[in-house]
Amino acid sequence: MGRLFGTDGVRGVANEEPMTPETVVKIGRAVAYLTRDAGRQASIVIGKDTRLTGYMLECALTSGICSMGVDVLLVGPLPTPGIAFIVRSLRADAGVVISASHNPFEDNGIKFFSGDGFKLPDEVEARVEALVLSGEIDAIRPRAREVGKAYRIGDALGRYIEFAKRTIPKGITFKGMRVVVDCAHGAAYKASPTLLRELGAEVVPLNVAPDGFNINAGCGSLHPQGMQAAVREHRADVGCAHDGDADRVILADETGALVDGDQILAMCALDLKRRGALRGDTVVATVMSNVGLEHALTAHGIRLIRTAVGDRYVLEEMLRGNYNLGGEQLQPGGGAVRPRHLPGPQHDGGRAHHGAAGPLPGPAAWQAPLGAPAMHDGAPPGPGQRPGGPAGGPHVAPERAAGARGGRGRPGWQRPTPGPVLRDRAGRAGDGGGGGPGADRGAGPLAGCRHREGTRGVANSRPPPSSRGEPLLRPIPRQGCVAAHPGRAAAARGRSRTRSHRVSCSRCAGKVGVEGVMERAGARRGPRLAVNVDHIATIRQARGGRDPDPVAAAALAELAGAEGIIVQLREDRRHIQDRDLRLLRETVKTRLNLEMAATEEMAGIAASVRPDLVTLVPERRQELTTEGGLEVAGQRRRLTAVVGPLQGAGIPVSLFIDPEEEQAEAAKAVGAAAVELHTGRYAEGRGEAAREALAALIRAARFAAGTGLAVSAGHGLNYANVEPVAAIPEVEELNIGHSIVARAALVGMDRAVREMLTRIRGARG
């Protein structure tokens, strides 16, 4: 037997090597062996599509995994992104999908992904392969009392559908829409129709009667003709066709015509651009995308970056450049992802139209060779204008595209094929397995899995700062100084990001009072929002159960646009637990800020977990919440003993202080990288007391930034009082918890975070 892993897990003809029960048992044992955790009981989720041979392989995997002392959580037929979501929902350590995707019934396969929803790293796959092929795994056997158990998870489908529904903004409705959905007799045969109905659509389901043999047979994304005919017959607004494991989808408009993948990508890009949400005004695609896409995007001031073929290269480029939209054009059967904040079906006189991007070019405009490209309006480039020129034109990522076409950095023309794979970085890998235009919007960090071929989307995520070499608090030079001294712009951009720009000239000093802050409020976008999820854990601990889960709340907050997650691990563990902290470190994709007391125990935990930032706070067991800032000036020696080792280990430290210059100066003296200004007196004050407290915050923020400290603020801030603090130019981040959690209890985390972001960003114009 040769290699086990191919481009998308292990795949082959069922009951022939390597897809035999004997080999699959060994594969399950090897994965479980690498998953085991000596400190706790590990678990692995197993899901599948509707192939008859799935039962055989499910039993084999279960046997192998349990034999290594790891529990198995069986969820049955479920779309691939749904299985990835369940892994997160159940806090499992890994997930397995038994499916051969769009391949015929006779084939089957096994795809693995880790507990965070990404595909297994190449080195882990290589280790699994070595354990199996060398026979080494055969000699590793736990004792009988240590074997694992298998559990059937009965509510997996319901969990996934509810999650997918929550990702769709309330302003988008499917009521009055008629949707044709072809489930290919596969994993989405229940999920997609149910989801669309619950969202208000009238559903015309096709191929939803799996018998174990008919998966992908003349239907689904490989054969969309039946879906197209049904759209016309039933006068539907939209049609969609899945493949066997629902990790891709083909779309058709109300006429039954297939919608070109590049057109969908352009539509999403133009909508995000219109709303000011397209990061860097950039879209990432592969060399398979047509040149017409380039011209359509360039005409709207959007740059296109190309990579080599493969969704992994699209994802890598998006992570590298912090872009939030990318896509891959595949052969028929390719998938479309509709992440949560991309355009979705909207109504216009009772008929659906695609988002709000405006008219898009027809197929002829997209299928233009480089020699005579057609622009989005049918016009060729102007005199001397090279398609994809430097003026906002497309760009080929050289390390991705070089060699992709015979070593040329510039791709040749490729005829587009239906069905893109879209990526929107909202957290983890995700794809359109939920079915239909609404279900595909469920692709988010909890709803997908990054496989080399089968993964389809990453929505609104950011890599941990440690992977980008960036600190949590990234001071921004004062715009006034750069504007007043154009020659300093380059120097300001090149200055270390770990230190604020210290203004030293009279032209930049400006006014000192609240009026001066308001005049400079429009200088930049506004501070980042970091959400504290402690109160989610407080509710959970009140009942002693597992819900609500602060880890899930953090993911939802990130999906909604939060740029940081905060937790306080108190010595009495009254809300956040050690396990929560470990899981958050593994799953938070923005920045994790650990608030803690300055004790030896907490310093050891921080050194082990390695959050992106540690904030030292005062802690008294009798208090309901933190009451006042650290008295830094009076305990410099003690704080230095904690700050020094953490900073030396590469973990930046912030101190939670009252807004006093003396405390900021002391924080600088003990070696802190940042301070968080306590806003409690301002938040609780009224009238003149509140104005005086705000003035103190302004003075303290200016002083602290002038010493080189990064500045954040928080405590007691809510929707009514946040804007004046957000307007302080030196404040780079606002840390808010209780008011957002309280609002989320009424309207959901997504809306609560977005409403707060609206107020923060509105504070600076």
Please identify every residue annotated as catalytic.
Answer: 101
* Sheet of 303-307, strands arranged across: 395-396, 303-307, 282-286, 326-329, 420-423
CB-based burial label for 439 (10 Å; 0-12, 13-18, 19+)? buried
Q: Strand, coil or helix: what is 224? A: coil
CB-based burial label for 585 (10 Å; 0-12, 13-18, 19+)? middle
Residue type, 512: V
| DSSP output for 594-617 | EEE-S-HHHHHHHHHH--SEEEE-
* Sheet of 202-206, strands arranged across: 202-206, 178-182, 238-242, 249-252
* Alpha-carbon distances, residue 583 vs 208, 550, 611, 740 (angstroms): 37, 10, 11, 22
- Closest to 450 (Cα-Cα) out of 10, 115, 117, 25: 117
Cα 82 from chain centroid (whole Å): 15
Tokens of 375: 């622009």
Buried b (16+ CB within 10 A) or exposed e, 19-41: bbbebbbbbbbbbbbbbbeeeee
Tokens of 8: 């998308």
* Alpha-carbon distances, residue 170 vs 339, 344, 438, 751 (angstroms): 15, 12, 12, 9
Axis-axis angle for helices 661-669, 688-706 (nearest 10): 30
Tokens of 502: 């210290």
Q: Which residues pair with 205 in a beta bridge?
A: 181
Under a CB-based contact definition with an 8 Å cutoff, are residues 719 and 759 in contact?
A: yes
Q: Which residues pair with 613 in a beta bridge?
A: 593
Under a CB-based contact definition with an 8 Å cutoff, are residues 334 and 420 in contact?
A: yes
Show the beta-strand stretches assigned E in 153-208: 178-182, 202-206
* Alpha-carbon distances, residue 749 vs 39, 188, 206, 584, 605 (angstroms): 32, 27, 35, 17, 29
Phi, psi of 692 (to 5 degrees): -65, -40
| DSSP output for 344-390 | -EEEETTEEEETTS-----HHHHS--TTS---TTSPPPPTTPPTT-T
- Closest to 287 (Cα-Cα) out of 397, 446, 198: 397
Distance CA 589, CA 657 (A): 27
- Closest to 342 (Cα-Cα) out of 322, 331, 356, 360: 356
Q: Which residues pair with 733 in a beta bridge?
A: 528, 712
Q: Tell me the HSE value of 198 on the side-chain side, using a 13 A CA sphere.
A: 18
Distance CA 28, CA 20 (A): 12
Under a CB-based contact definition with an 8 Å cutoff, are residues 679 and 715 in contact?
A: yes
Under a CB-based contact definition with an 8 Å cutoff, are residues 285 and 404 in contact?
A: no
Distance CA 371, CA 381 (A): 11
CB-based burial label for 635 (10 Å; 0-12, 13-18, 19+)? middle
- SS3 labels along 248-274: CEEEECCCCCECEHHHHHHHHHHHHHH
